[in-house]
Structure 1
Amino acid sequence: MPTPPLVIFDFDGTLFNTHASIKETIKLTFASLLPASPPPPDAEIEAQIASGAGLADTFRNLYPDAVSSSSPAEFESWVLRYREIYAEKGQALVTAYPGAKALLETVQRKSIPMSIISNKGVEAVKTALVNNGLEGFIPVEFIIGDKTPGAKRKPDVGSFEDVLLPRLREKGVDIDTEGRKRDVLVVGDTVADIGFARNLGCRVCWCRYGYGGKEECEALRPDWIVDGLGEVVNILEE
């Protein structure tokens, strides 16, 4: 492949193993807000993680009895409580996948701009990068997440078109022409990531080791399928 003008990484299930932290924090959130009720079954929590759903949608799906009677603002309060617990207890369970640092070093050595576009909150992403010694590779302004003004949930391309692209232009990074956009590489693990790349019209590497469902992701025919981040390094070196 041509050297990509930009590499866009997903966060959860791609650069970082956050499965245990998300699962545990969801359970603790339910215990905090519904202490008299049992937590959702593990299988249902894992299905939500695999779907790439946002937090508000995740809680709606896991607590269907409240959907008809609760306002959207109530689920936003659940999101806030989740983030409080995640910052306090969940971050300690977040670890970078093997090869993450080597991959970021390779992209940096090749002078390829990098971004993270995630459905996760930006502060949680930044904290995990610092905690795992991976800060400094990706400029903070190129980290787009939940609650970033103008951002949209993947597979919507609004986070790229309306937020990241103007920031790239400000830094003199040119990917405006259609040909260069086609050579952008998205690296992610769920159908939301693959759909995001397809909607952008660019290439996509599916991280099979992540949280996405095998059949759903394979059906979208990603350009590459990898079982570890070292294989992404090989793609870039080739």
Structure 2
Amino acid sequence: MTKLVIFDVDGTLVDSQAHIIASMEAGFATVRQAAPDRDTILSIVGLSLPVAMRELAPEADDAALAQMVDGYKDAFQTQRLKQGAAASPLYPGAEEALRTLGAQGDVALAIATGKSRRGLDALLADWAFADLFVTTQCADDHPSKPHPSMVLTCLTDCNVAASEAVVIGDTTYDMEMAGAARVKGIGVRWGYHGHDALMAAGAHVVLDDFGQLCAALDEMWKG
């Protein structure tokens, strides 16, 4: 029976915090406002950009929010073109873990991310292992996390039952999305939300590094 491992991207596979913070600062600058502090910005990573911007700027009207979103996107793309893959480097052990899982005949890999399709495709273009992912779901085509739509689409695309799937993510939104889809969640400590928050949001376990992933999956599926 095929098992499905669904990965978040920002804060889980790639360390994009500097890129995100700089882009958010640029977005706020378009309306001549100071961006929130670093921790506040990172707390909303994982949400779709318009939802995240609304969380960070609740007093802004719709026109201002649209301008801020466009400013973020422009800055993100400019920095991406300037730095390439260095703008969002893979976390240590990520590629090895993905290749190990992808080599297992009974495991399918997928992505569920709050990134735009353009942003996700830019990352995938830099990854020699991108073809390991059977399906990739992003914010352009779904409601924001923690809505289960992205996970449910991954299950359908891969013809896998919820009981045989798991979401790997660094935020409470990922764990809540998994729970809403009746899928187990595994949290990662190296991202943007902490161990306690991930466990409170329903994580089966929280990993300290990618080297623990395969063993954690084996234990979870045996259970």
Q: Do they fold alike, i.e. is TM over 0.5? A: yes
Give the percent of matched residue pairs that are identical in Structure 1 and Structure 2: 24
1:57 CA displacement: 2.7
* Residue in structure 2 matched with residue 135 of structure 1 by the alignment: 130
TM-score using structure 2 length: 0.84
Match of 2:34 in 1: 38
- Of structures 1 and 2, the one with the larger relative CO (CA 8 A, separation 6+) is 1
SS of corresponding position for 1:206: strand
DSSP-derived class of the 1:204 partner:
strand
* 1:105 counterpart = 2:99: yes
Partner Cα distance (1:120, 1:182) in 2: 26
Deviation at 1:237, TM superposition (A): 5.5
Q: Is the 8 A contact 1:25 1:90 kept in 2?
A: no
Deviation string, structure 1 residues 146-168 (Cα, Å, up to 9, x no partner): 112xx12222112233x3344x2
Q: CA deviation at 1:138?
A: 1.3
2:159 aligned partner: 174
The CA deviation at 1:88 is 1.2
Contact 1:126 1:135 in 2 (8 A): no
Counterpart of 1:84 in structure 2 is 74
Q: CA deviation at 1:211?
A: 0.6
Q: What's the counterpart of residue 10 of structure 2?
A: 12
Task: Report the TM-score when normalising by structure 1.
Answer: 0.80
Q: List alignment gaps of at least 5 residues for structure 1.
A: none
Whether 2:140 is the aligned partner of 1:147: answer: yes
Computed over aligned residues only, the root mean square deviation of the Cα atoms, in angstroms, reads 2.3
Shift in alpha-carbon separation, 1:193–1:47, aligned structure 2, 3 A: closer
Greater than 6 Å deviation, 4+ residue runs: none
- How far 1:53 sits from its partner (Å)? 3.0
In the alignment, the residues of structure 2 paired with residue 41 and residue 226 of structure 1 have an alpha-carbon distance, to the nearest angstrom, of 27
Aligned equivalents of 2:19 and 2:210: distance in 1? 21
**Per-residue deviation at 1:227?**
1.1
Does the aligned pair in 1 maintain the 2:43–2:193 contact within 8 Å? Answer: no
Tell me the residue number matched to 1:198.
179
- Report deviation, 1:11: 0.6
CA deviation after TM superposition for structure 1 residue 9, in Å: 0.5
Gaps of 5+ in 2: none
Deviations 1:113-165 (A, max 9, x none): 111011111221221233344422214xx1111112xx12222112233x334
